[in-house]
Amino acid sequence: MKKMYLAMIILVLSVMSACSQASTQNNNEPSPSASNATTTSPSGEASAEPTPEKELPKVAFVYIGVPGDGGWTFEHDKARKVIEEKFGIKATVVENVPEGPDAERVFEELAQDNDIIFGTSFGYMDSMYNVAQKYPKVIFMHATGYKTAENMGTYQGKGFESGYLAGIAAGKLTKDNKIGYVGAFPIPEVIYTINAFTLGAQSVNPDVEISVIWSNTWFDPATERQAAISLLDQGVDVLANYQDSPAGIQAAQERGVWGMGNDSDMNSYAPETYVTNPVLDWGPYYTEVIQSVIDGTWKSGSYYGGFKEGMVDIAPFGKNVPQEVQDLVNAKKKDIIDGNFQVFSGPVYDQSGAEKVAEGAALSLEDILVMDYFVKGVKGSIPQ
């Protein structure tokens, strides 16, 4: 019996000695962090330690209006939702920010707690530029402007491409050759779009006349409705509008007149007389900007996207627009995408008859972006 107890004690001591030796061996081995920091993949192959995820930037948007405008701000807000879903972030949004001192205050407050700030109105340009100088580590992106800095870029859609196509539709639909256009503000962006619209209409109807009046608003339904009515009272039978609200096309439908809005699909507001209008898709570009910031590849510059880049388009045609008109517009759209047609190809003349673009030539993008004259066929003036 004593021999059995003795054997058991020897066995236990042997096991304890073996464990102690194993523990000592393990403690003497280098840890992964002290060596080449490799791990083993499921396939058994050594692989590098995974790099930590890149930090997501804080993003803010400043709107001139509200997403409920159904136009310009609505489209920017749609794009905001795209980037929130794409990157899993929650952007800060400030709505109804007027251009001027209030805008500068808002941008300065946002710059204290954000990495990227998108300002979505032309009139924010100077405010953004001023604040960008104070916060060099914050990236400022300004829609439709032309001032840049090391930490401030600009972006815009080539609205003259989509405006030209809307003009083709208007030129084909008018019966009396009298088309009205309610301009927003007399800035190059609006001027060159009206000119492109006019050239498009003239390409299918040389006798057409475009009457222009200014609302001096981006979103003021009452003012925009009154401006539309003043043109309707002059007998126009197609009415285009550059503002964010659908007030103009609603007034047109009440008179049984073809109507076109701007920036977003406005079909639902006047389904019986809606034609189409230029639309914008900011989502892909906003996604690209944010990804470049995450990757550390963002650089200041000015970006202009057209049909080819997917930034501009025209809204689906209204239900009563003849197929012949739709086909004509779509054919010209393909020509633009394929590079077979430029909107401001010569000859182009201004209201006085002076040649602005010679036959066989075409305006450069730089010349288009500073356009300050109306082309021949426009009835109206540009306030100085």
**172 closest CA partner among 133, 194, 134, 201:** 201
Q: Cα(3)–Cα(96) distance, rounded to whole angstroms?
A: 95
Question: Which pLDDT value is given to residue 5?
Answer: 38
Strand partners, 305: 157
Residues 211 and 83: their CA atoms lie apart, in Å, by: 40
What's residue 22's pLDDT? 40
- Residues with Cβ within 8 Å of 13's Cβ and at least 6 positions away in sequence, in order, are none
Dmax over CA atoms of the chain, in Å, equals 126
Tell me if 59-157+282-305 shares its fold with 159-277+315-379.
Answer: yes
How does pLDDT run along the chain (384 residues), one tens digit per residue?
333 333 333 333 343 344 444 443 343 333 333 333 322 223 333 333 444 568 999 999 999 999 988 899 999 999 999 999 999 999 999 999 999 999 999 999 999 999 999 999 999 999 999 999 999 999 999 999 999 999 999 999 999 999 999 999 999 999 999 999 999 999 999 999 999 999 999 999 999 999 999 999 999 999 999 999 999 999 999 999 999 999 999 999 999 999 999 999 999 999 999 999 999 999 999 999 999 999 999 999 999 999 999 999 999 999 999 999 999 999 999 999 999 999 999 999 999 999 999 999 999 999 999 999 999 999 999 998
Sign of CA dihedral 267, 273, 275, 279: negative
pLDDT at residue 69, as a whole number: 86
Q: What is the pLDDT of residue 54?
A: 80
Within 10 angstroms of residue 129's Cβ, the number of other Cβ atoms is: 18
User: By the 8 A CB rule, do 191 and 374 touch?
Assistant: yes
pLDDT at residue 258, rounded to an integer: 98
Sheet containing strand 238-241, strands side by side:
258-260, 238-241, 178-183, 209-214, 378-379
Q: What pLDDT is recorded for position 35?
A: 31
- pLDDT in the model for residue 353: 97
Give the span between the Cα atoms of 284 and 263, in whole angstroms: 16
Domain map of the chain by residue range? 59-157+282-305, 159-277+315-379
Q: Are 186 and 198 in contact (CB under 8 A)?
A: no
CA torsion, points 17, 21, 23, 29, in degrees to nearest 10? Answer: 180
Q: What does the block give as tokens for 368? A: 């288009």
Please name the CATH architecture into which domain 159-277+315-379 falls.
3-Layer(aba) Sandwich (3.40)
What are 195's two structure tokens?
């000119």
Helix/strand/coil for 168: helix
Separation of CA 359 from chain center: 33
CATH class for domain 59-157+282-305?
alpha beta
Q: According to the model, what pLDDT value does residue 241 have?
A: 98
